[in-house]
């Protein structure tokens, strides 16, 4: 979802009017989570997904109409029993989708989404707030608020004037909690206005140390599921744009100092799959000094034991080593490079989603 704001910003810069569709409420086992979104162009083409199937088709048609009529809409789908069968979905549940037309000529929209895209690409943290206000919509002025950590807010909430100040005061807590979803705002007159909250954080980055067969397959997978990608190897022929065209960056660096002077930050996912034990050890020693979300190292338990023993002698604690995902990947019985890459990608997704993967893999 981190790429969504960049997509919107790009489309608006190209002069294209859009309708944004967001799942603002989900009950039961609907196909996509709360906060899933997509954009619909005037011709009905889309970017992103809210789950596919008949549901997405119906929402797309409604979005085209909403854009043409300049009407924000809140769609309610109650999918159970016969409705599920007719929707061609295998999941039931209730879903509310908010449709929000956005015009390329809307200066406020272009400003807010460009700033949100900048945050998602590596410029801090922010909170996007959208009041659900079905009805005529001429522009996003007064209907969208972007609170940026350490920077001035963009936009405003005319229907909830006191809410912006309250949110600004509690922004740090809201971002730390990662709150996404609907929260009711009770106005002084006693009426209620539901607002959708969406935290925006830096896109997580996968750092692949080693450009061999596993990385070749893993690179495509991690980009497919929404990570940024950096590939590093000490051999030019293995760290090249030709070999990894999808990489955001390619580093040709000595593994012994591959992270010299680098502070990767808490959104880093570090995958160590070099061509030998010595290089793995050198990279792992540097990785353990980072504040990464994930550090994983390929290899057997015997190899891991040898490397850990050497690192303990260099001053690393058992507690530090216990944070490493090694053997790497989810335990799915993978054997081929393609299968191993899939198991690693699955573990990265699980960690990103806050799932506990501490049962260890098989490599």
Q: Sheet harboring 93-102: ordered strands across?
A: 46-48, 37-41, 18-27, 93-102, 71-79, 135-136
H helices present in the chain, as ranges: 4-13, 53-69, 82-86, 107-120, 163-169, 171-177, 213-224, 277-287, 301-313, 318-321, 337-352
CATH class of 205-352: alpha beta
Measured CA to CA in angstroms, residue 100 lies from 22, 91, 108, 133, 148 at distances of 9, 25, 14, 9, 22
Asked if omega into 152 is within 30° of 0 (cis), the reply is: no
Q: Report the pLDDT value the prediction gives residue 363, as an integer from 0 to 100.
A: 42
Q: Report the pLDDT value the prediction gives residue 362, as an integer from 0 to 100.
A: 42
| Residues 125/116, Cβ–Cβ less than 8 Å | no
| Residues 211/178, Cβ–Cβ less than 8 Å | no
With a cut of 50, list the residues of the chain below it in pLDDT: 82-83, 85-89, 360-363
pLDDT digits (tens, 9 = 90+) for 1-40: 557 898 999 999 999 999 999 999 988 766 678 888 999 9
Residues of the chain with CATH 3.40.50.720: 205-352
Angle, in degrees to the nearest 10, between helices 337-352 and 213-224: 40
Q: Which of 47, 28, 45, 334 is nearest to 36 (CA)?
A: 47
Instruction: Indicate the pTM of the whole model.
Output: 0.69
Q: Report the pLDDT value the prediction gives residue 360, as an integer from 0 to 100.
A: 47
Residue 258 backbone dihedrals phi, psi, to 5 degrees:
-65, -25
């Amino acid at each position: 979802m981190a790429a969504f704001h960049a997509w919107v910003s790009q489309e608006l810069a190209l002069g294209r009017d859009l309708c944004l569709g967001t799942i603002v409420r989900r009950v039961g086992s609907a196909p996509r989570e709360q906060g899933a979104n997509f954009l619909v162009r005037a011709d009905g083409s889309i970017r992103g997904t809210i789950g596919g199937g008949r549901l997405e088709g119906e929402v797309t048609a409604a979005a085209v109409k909403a854009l043409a009529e300049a009407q924000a809409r809140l769609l309610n789908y109650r999918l159970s029993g016969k409705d599920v069968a007719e929707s061609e979905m295998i999941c039931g549940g209730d879903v509310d989708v908010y449709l929000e037309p956005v015009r390329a000529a809307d200066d406020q929209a272009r400003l807010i989404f460009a700033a949100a895209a900048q945050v998602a690409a590596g410029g801090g943290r922010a909170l996007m707030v959208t009041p659900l206000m079905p009805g005529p919509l001429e522009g996003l002025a007064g209907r969208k608020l972007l609170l940026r950590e350490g920077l001035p807010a963009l936009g405003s909430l005319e229907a909830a004037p006191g809410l912006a100040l309250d949110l600004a005061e509690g922004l740090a807590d809201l971002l730390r909690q990662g709150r996404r979803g609907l929260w009711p705002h009770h106005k002084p007159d006693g009426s209620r206005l539901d607002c959708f909250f969406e935290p925006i954080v830096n896109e997580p980055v996968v750092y692949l140390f080693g450009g061999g067969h596993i990385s070749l397959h893993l690179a495509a997978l991690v980009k497919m599921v929404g990570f940024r990608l950096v590939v590093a190897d000490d051999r030019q022929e293995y760290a090249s744009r030709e070999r990894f065209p999808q990489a955001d960056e390619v580093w040709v660096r000595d593994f012994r100092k591959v992270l010299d002077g680098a502070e990767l930050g808490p959104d880093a996912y570090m995958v160590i799959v070099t061509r030998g034990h010595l290089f793995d050890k050198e990279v792992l020693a540097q990785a353990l000094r980072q504040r990464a979300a994930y550090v994983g190292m390929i290899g057997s338990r015997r190899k891991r034991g040898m490397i850990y023993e050497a690192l303990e002698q260099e001053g690393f604690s058992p507690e530090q080593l216990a944070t490493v995902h090694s053997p790497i990947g989810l335990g799915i019985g993978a054997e081929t490079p393609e299968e191993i890459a899939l198991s690693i990608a699955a573990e990265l997704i699980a960690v990103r989603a806050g799932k506990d993967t501490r049962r260890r893999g098989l490599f």
